[in-house]
Amino acid sequence: MLWPIIKNKKKHRKLKTPFKISFKEKVNNIPNKTILENFKENLDGTYCDYLEINNDKELIVKNDFFRWKPDWNFNLWVGIGNAKITIEENEMQSYSPIKYSIDFSRLTITYILTIILFSVVLPIYGYFELLFIMILVLIAIIMHGITFFRHWSFFKQTIKHGINYLGNYDWESIIKNKTEIELVEIKNGNRQLPKSVIRLAELELEKRKGEMTN
């Protein structure tokens, strides 16, 4: 009678991956719901595929395996299958520990397979092959570093600025220098920009319209 129970447990055991990275931060006096809504709003502007909030304690990000979207400027998700924002339990009510974990298995496996493919297929030998493989490894490390920095920056800036975070660009100055035609294109969603930037374009158009009538 014990065998079905043991079998059931094994069936539902989750496979863990070593290819994960996490960032942590403490947030003072902000409700869990507000924290998760801020992240949800900002993540929605990064063109991830699926977002889901569970019980005001975690926000889950999932991405399709094959992705083809016009989102290169704001795409944080190349090679990343899923991520999670978790508000951890804390007996002291003065602050909430926030954890942002990212699964970069796809990115790492892609680079590993690429390095193996080039080392096997290319007709190079000896020191040249070793040098080429070392260059590929260096590129992989740099690309990983860029990916991690972008997610770390996103995490820190969202906590600091809430839904007003617009990426690593001074969009307020950029929008002010746009022509009216460019602003209309942004407002109509023709430039594939986050909702926050579109809203800035709308406000700038309203401002210019008001200046013309005065």
The pLDDT tens digits of the residues spanning 174-211 come to 888 888 888 888 888 776 676 777 888 888 888 888 87
pLDDT for res 34? 85
Q: What is the dihedral of CA 134, 136, 141, 145, to 10 degrees?
A: 150
Q: What average pLDDT score do residues 40-52 get?
A: 82
The candidate with the shortest Cα–Cα distance to 134, out of 153, 110, 115, 150, is 115
Q: pTM to 2 decimals?
A: 0.65
Strand pairing class (50-54; 20-28): unpaired
Residue type, 124: I
CB atoms within 10 A of CB 69: 13
Indicate if the pLDDT at residue 13 is higher than 50.
Answer: no
Q: What average pLDDT score do residues 3-27 get?
A: 60
Q: pLDDT averaged over the chain?
A: 77
Task: Decide if 99 contacts 151 (C-beta within 8 A).
Answer: no
The pLDDT tens digits of the residues spanning 143-162 come to 888 888 989 988 988 888 77
